[in-house]
């Protein structure tokens, strides 16, 4: 399996990113970007969670 195909297999969908942004806002009192950045600091996060949180950060910063 190439690196590119591996990454595509774990890349979150747009729907996954939107849902996680909504959840981050709910968990972090309406501050999804700050919440995602805070959650990324936690030790031992699974790779898929890191990818999803980074995608959320990217999406939120693009706004």
pLDDT band per the 50, 70, 90 thresholds, residue 63: confident
**First and final C-alpha spacing in the chain:** 34
pLDDT at residue 12, as a whole number: 93
Q: Residue 18 corresponds to which tokens in the numbers above?
A: 């939107």
What integer best gives the mean pLDDT of the chain? 91
- Structure confidence by residue, pLDDT tens digits, 6-21: 666 678 999 999 999 9
pLDDT at residue 5, as a whole number: 65
Q: Residue 37 corresponds to which tokens in the numbers above?
A: 């950045």
- The conformational region for residue 2 under phi > 0 = left, psi -120 to 50 = alpha, else beta, is beta
pLDDT over 70 at 54, yes or no: yes
């Amino acid at each position: 399996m190439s690196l590119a195909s591996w990454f595509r297999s774990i890349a979150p969908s747009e729907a996954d990113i939107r849902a996680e942004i909504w959840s981050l806002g709910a968990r972090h009192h309406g501050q999804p970007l700050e919440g995602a950045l805070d959650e990324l600091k936690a030790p031992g996060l699974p790779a898929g969670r890191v990818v999803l949180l980074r995608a959320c950060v990217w999406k939120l910063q693009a706004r």
